[in-house]
Structure 1
Amino acid sequence: MSRSALHLRPTPDAPAITEAADLGTVLGIWAHPDDEALLSAGLMAAARDAGQRVVCVTATLGEHGTDDPRHWPPDRLAAVRGHELRASLAALGVCEHHVLGIGDGACAEQPEDFVVHRLARIVREVAPDTIVTFGPDGLTGHEDHQTVSRWATAARALAAPRARLLYATTTEEFVDAWEPARDAFAVFLTDELPLRTPRSSLAVELRMDSAALDRKMVALRAQASQMTGLIAALGEDRVRDWWSVETFVAAERVESRTAWASWRVAA
């Protein structure tokens, strides 16, 4: 299977930010509960510990995130995942949270201008120094992730063009560690992913120590409907190792591309 690196515009290399305190007020914009914990739990917790404001936006409650819809019908799973998400964020010290209430798997069907302007209102209220979200690839190839990336990018342009916009990415180091488990765990949903972003291209690289990883694992385990089985299957040591570094590229460095291959939930 092929693997890709992001197509990055050449710019003078600058050292990656390694301290969340340097990010100022942080706004995370994500698609489903657990996206924010996997990709930015360490960042959020460290920013809060440094006295920074952190706000999280979640587009959907992931009500189709089950292979047992008879036992977990959408209304029930949405309610449970909402409770899990609040508990997860609380473990990180994050108490400001917005849910857009969009259907799981239906982001691309929404009227884009309406959602972007709704997000822009949140962005203006928060006045973030840094916005974190998915890149145009959606990190895993999920159509909801890709759509949220587009919304967040447009909302930032409207409401806070001077804010730092960061796209979550994966690195060569991550891909090499993940590859042996790829076939058993269909997390990355197209052949082009995960990305092999060179460390030299990162804008932010946060490496967590043992205590920070403990806290991230608490946040992940709080989202039990999604994470309990995955952690049990992979083993906690591997989960800790794979997700011990949170990495982001600057949006301005990512070259535009007509489309990425995408995967859509079967709603």
Structure 2
Amino acid sequence: MRSATTITATNVAELGTILGIWAHPDDEAYLSAGLMALARDNGQRVVCVTATRGESGTPDPVAWPPARLAAERTREMARCLDVLGVREHHWLGHRDGGCAAVEPEAAVSQLCDVVGDVQPDTVLTFGPDGVTGHPDHRTVSAWAGAAFTRAAPAGARLLHAAVPEPWEARWSELSASLDIYLPGYPVLTPSERLAVDVVLDPVTAARKVRALAAQTTQTAGLIATLGVARYTAWVGEEAFVEAVRRPASGSLVGALTD
């Protein structure tokens, strides 16, 4: 196993004010809960945006019809963010599974308002691959990139969630058994390309698992199947590539080409 530096309150400070832009409740926790918790403990502002309420996220739509599941996932999201200390959250109000059908200009305008208000130093979101290939993830990535280009302040960074090659090598069998990725995914990222590559310390990893466990409809069965120790190891790394950095003045540096 490669070595990795455990992030601390000292180096998480480099991310400044963080704005996460995600598609469904639990995306934020799986991909960035550790970073959010550490940043909040360090006194940084963390704001989370979720495009949908995840009302289609169930294998049992009879027990969980969309309206009931949306209401429950709304409550779960509040509990999850409370564990992480995140107090600012925005719902965009789009239909789960329907982001690609949303008029892009309207969605980007929504996000421009949030970006303009928050003035983030760091925006966390999906890359164009959407990590798993999910169409909502990929669409939200495009919206976030457009909003960043239009409204992000000088010096801001846009970071895309990534699947590191070493991580997938360790967990590929489990990933395949859980049917997480659409065919052709994940798109793997070499370690040397990562701008953020964090193996969470045990306390933060446990807190992340508590946040994920708060989203019971999505995680209870998986945690029970894997056991807490294995599940904690599986979710204990967070990785991002730098897509764009806005200089202090002038044009953007980088490109949205992950």
Q: TM-score, with normalisation over the residues of structure 1?
A: 0.87
Q: 1:137-194 CA distances to partner (integer Å, 9 max, x unpaired)?
A: 0000000000000000000111015310000001112111221223321111122x22
Q: 1:197-252 CA distances to partner (integer Å, 9 max, x unpaired)?
A: 11111111222111001100110000000000111222222221122111000013
Contact 2:145 2:256 in 1 (8 A): no
Contact 1:37 1:216 in 2 (8 A): yes
* Distance across 2 between alignment mates of 1:218 and 1:256: 34
Which residue of structure 1 lines up, in the alignment, with residue 204 of structure 2? 212
Do residues 100 (structure 1) and 92 (structure 2) align? yes
* Distance across 2 between alignment mates of 1:133 and 1:216: 18
Give the counterpart of 1:185 among 178, 182, 186. 178
The residue type paired with residue 256 of structure 1 is: T
* Distance across 1 between alignment mates of 2:56 and 2:176: 22
Q: 1:63-89 CA distances to partner (integer Å, 9 max, x unpaired)?
A: 010111111000000000000001000
Identity %: 52
Structure 2: runs of 5 or more not aligned:
245-253
* Distance across 2 between alignment mates of 1:226 and 1:212: 21
Which residue of structure 1 lines up, in the alignment, with residue 14 of structure 2? 22
* Distance across 1 between alignment mates of 2:120 and 2:176: 39
Contact 1:177 1:242 in 2 (8 A): no
Do residues 166 (structure 1) and 167 (structure 2) align? no
Instruction: Quickly say closer, same or farther: Cα 1:227–1:254, change in 2 above 3 A.
Output: farther
The residue type paired with residue 186 of structure 1 is: D
Do residues 227 (structure 1) and 219 (structure 2) align? yes
Question: Helix, strand or coil for the counterpart of 1:213?
Answer: helix
Q: 1:90-130 CA distances to partner (integer Å, 9 max, x unpaired)?
A: 10000100001100000000010011011000000000000
The residue type paired with residue 83 of structure 1 is: R
Which residue of structure 2 lines up, in the alignment, with residue 147 of structure 1? 139
* Distance across 2 between alignment mates of 1:250 and 1:107: 24
* Distance across 2 between alignment mates of 1:166 and 1:182: 23
The residue type paired with residue 84 of structure 2 is: L
Structure 1 residue 17, shift from structure 2 partner: 10
Which residue of structure 2 lines up, in the alignment, with residue 88 of structure 1? 80
Do residues 240 (structure 1) and 232 (structure 2) align? yes
* Distance across 1 between alignment mates of 2:76 and 2:92: 16
User: Within 5 Å, which residues of 2 pair with 1:251-262?
Assistant: 251-252=243-244, 256=257
The residue type paired with residue 219 of structure 2 is: M
User: Within 5 Å, which residues of 2 pair with 1:2-13?
Assistant: none
Q: TM-score, with normalisation over the residues of structure 2?
A: 0.90
* Distance across 2 between alignment mates of 1:37 and 1:234: 18
Contact 1:140 1:194 in 2 (8 A): yes
Contact 2:120 2:153 in 1 (8 A): no
Following superposition, which runs of at least 4 residues in structure 1 exceed 4 angstroms of deviation?
none
Larger RCO: 1 or 2 (CA < 8 Å, sep 6+): 1
Greater Cα shift, 201-210 or 127-136: 201-210
Q: 1:31-84 CA distances to partner (integer Å, 9 max, x unpaired)?
A: 000000000000000000111000000000110101111110000000000000
Question: Helix, strand or coil for the counterpart of 2:75?
Answer: helix
Contact 1:116 1:155 in 2 (8 A): yes
User: Within 5 Å, which residues of 2 pair with 1:14-163?
Assistant: 18=7, 19-160=11-152, 162=154, 163=156
The residue type paired with residue 60 of structure 1 is: T
Structure 1 residue 22, shift from structure 2 partner: 1.1
Considering only aligned residues, what root-mean-square deviation do their CA atoms show, in Å?
1.6
Question: Helix, strand or coil for the counterpart of 1:65?
Answer: coil
Give the counterpart of 2:189 among 188, 197, 200. 197
**Residue correspondences, number:** 241
Structure 1 residue 255, shift from structure 2 partner: 6.0
Contact 1:17 1:203 in 2 (8 A): no
Structure 1: runs of 5 or more not aligned:
1-15, 258-267
